[in-house]
Each structure stands twice: as C-alpha cells, then as structure tokens.
Amino acid sequence: NAGVTQTPKFRVLKTGQSMTLLCAQDMNHEYMYWYRQDPGMGLRLIHYSVGEGTTAKGEVPDGYNVSRLKKQNFLLGLESAAPSQTSVYFCASSFGPLERGVVLGTDTQYFGPGTRLTVL
C-alpha cells in the first residue's frame, strides 16, 4: 500500500496563477483533509470531506476550493494564487466515525508527504 500520496511535491507559481493539488489514498478511507503548515503556526485545516461527493470548510478555507469526485481522491484548487498562500500543504485521510463495528482508532489521520508551494 502506498498510503497517502500527493502530487506535485514542489511548485512555484506567480501571483494570480491557478493550480490543483492532488491527493490520493489507497486505504479505502471515507474522510479526507487538507491542511497547510506555516512556520510557528502548526497545521491548520483548510477543507475536508466526509465521503465521496461531499466537502466542507475548515479553519482557513478562503482562497481555496476542493472536490471529491472519487472516494480515493481529494483535490485542492487555488483559483488565483496569492503570496499569502505560500506554505506546505498536507493531505490526510481516516476511516471516519465508529460505524459498521469498526473499533476505536478509526479517526486516526494518516498524512501524505506534503507539497511545498511558493507564490511569487
């Protein structure tokens, strides 16, 4: 199993350009998340999804959009990049709630390797 993978690993954009970050997981997880990590601030949740076709806002959603067309993929889009979006982006996934007899531990999130984005 590859776990959680992210594409690309690095990207440099100019202000106003757009791009999409791809997250893929092969663990059959229901829940997927996008975080950003900035120096001294810890990871902050941007958007999340509780299942295929669903998305919801996290703590810092402005300037980002997401889509979950397939259960294994979660896309993060920047329509018009700004320097304030320079950051490291992490995707994570988890099984989700305690349903169908799944034991405790299903809400453990597993993270991808990250995408380092610089906006000039």
Partner 1 sequence: EDQVTQSPEALRLQEGESSSLNCSYTVSGLRGLFWYRQDPGKGPEFLFTLYSAGEEKEKERLKATLTKKESFLHITAPKPEDSATYLCPYSISSGSARQLTFGSGTQLTVLP
Q: Which residues bind partner 1 (CB under 8 A)?
A: 4, 31, 33, 40-45, 48, 50, 56, 58, 90, 92, 94, 96-97, 104-105, 107-114
Q: Is the peptide bond before 61 cis (omega within 30 degrees of 0)?
A: no
Q: Which amino acid belongs to residue 48?
A: Y
Nearer to partner 1, 13 or 29 (CB): 29
Nearer to partner 1, 41 or 120 (CB): 41
Burial class of residue 11 (count of CB atoms within 10 Å of its CB; 0-12, 13-18, 19+): middle
Shortest distance, CB of residue 42 to partner 1, whole angstroms? 4
DSSP for residue 102: P
Nearer to partner 1, 31 or 85 (CB): 31
Nearer to partner 1, 12 or 82 (CB): 12
Would you call 85 helix, strand, or coil by DSSP? helix
Shortest distance, CB of residue 120 to partner 1, whole angstroms? 21
Q: Is 79 left (phi over 0), alpha (psi -120 to 50) or beta?
A: alpha
Shortest distance, CB of residue 118 to partner 1, whole angstroms? 14
